[in-house]
């Protein structure tokens, strides 16, 4: 991977509605990133910074939960609460773009490999360290055509914003 390119790669804005499935016991804390800060995530290293992981659609969120963070762990009916978010970020990196992957000398397979977060968390660490990136869009590791928006809440400044919408449903 060309880590140097992570500091110069072009950013783009993103705007829209995104979704998150939160354990219902934390369902009233829709902007909390303490779980990712303590445990790490695909694009953040535990203890360094937290990230708000959002899906472009409900199917991606469900796959990320059931095949990802809770893989193999049975959960009760209503264990997760879905929220929607209104998001505008002025500077994100599109890891779902083939041209960006080429520039970084990585492949979709490398950043979505199940059980291997080294490549992805390294990308997140460098982009976060860069300081002028609000987050990234990446292919889901658990939903074939799904996309995730990973937000570095501690890096966003106006006009960028993430606003919680409403509780949508409980799942499953």
**Torsion angle, CA of 154/2/43/126, rounded to 10 degrees?**
-20
pLDDT at 70: 66
**Topology of domain 3-171, per CATH?**
Diphtheria Toxin; domain 1 (3.90.175)
pLDDT digits (tens, 9 = 90+) for 26-50: 889 999 999 899 999 999 999 999 9
Q: Are 17 and 85 in contact (CB under 8 A)?
A: yes
- Domain residue extents for the chain: 3-171
Question: Is residue 86 helix, strand or coil?
Answer: strand
Distance CA 7, CA 3 (A): 8
Q: What is the pLDDT of residues 122-172, one digit of tens each?
A: 999 999 999 999 999 999 999 999 999 999 999 999 999 999 999 999 999
Residue pair 39/46 in contact (Cβ under 8 Å)? The answer is: yes
- Residue of 19, 27, 17 whose CA lies nearest to 170: 27
Listing DSSP states for 46-67 in one string gives TTT---EEEESSHHHHHHIIII
3-state helix, strand, coil in the chain (%, to 5): 30, 30, 35
The DSSP bridge pattern shows strands 135-139 and 80-94 to be parallel
The Cα 110–Cα 91 span in angstroms is 23
The span from the CA of 137 to the CA of 36, in Å, is: 17
Q: What is the pLDDT of residue 69?
A: 66
Is 134 in contact with 160 (CB distance < 8 Å)?
yes
């Amino acid at each position: 991977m060309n880590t140097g390119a992570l500091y110069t790669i072009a950013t783009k804005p993103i705007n829209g509605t995104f979704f998150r499935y939160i354990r219902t016991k934390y369902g009233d804390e829709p902007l909390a990133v303490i779980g990712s800060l303590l445990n790490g995530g695909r694009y953040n290293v535990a203890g360094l910074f937290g990230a708000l992981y959002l899906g472009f659609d409900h199917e991606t969120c469900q796959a990320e939960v059931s095949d990802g963070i809770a893989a193999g762990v049975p959960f009760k009916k209503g264990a997760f609460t879905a929220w929607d978010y209104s998001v505008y970020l002025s500077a994100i990196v599109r890891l779902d773009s083939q041209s960006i992957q080429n520039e970084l000398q990585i492949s979709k397979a490398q950043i979505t490999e199940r059980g291997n977060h080294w490549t992805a968390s390294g990308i997140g660490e460098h982009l976060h360290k860069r300081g002028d990136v609000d987050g990234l869009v990446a292919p889901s590791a658990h939903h074939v055509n799904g996309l995730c928006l990973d937000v570095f809440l501690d890096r966003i400044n106006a006009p960028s914003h993430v606003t919680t919408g409403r509780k949508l449903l409980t799942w499953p």
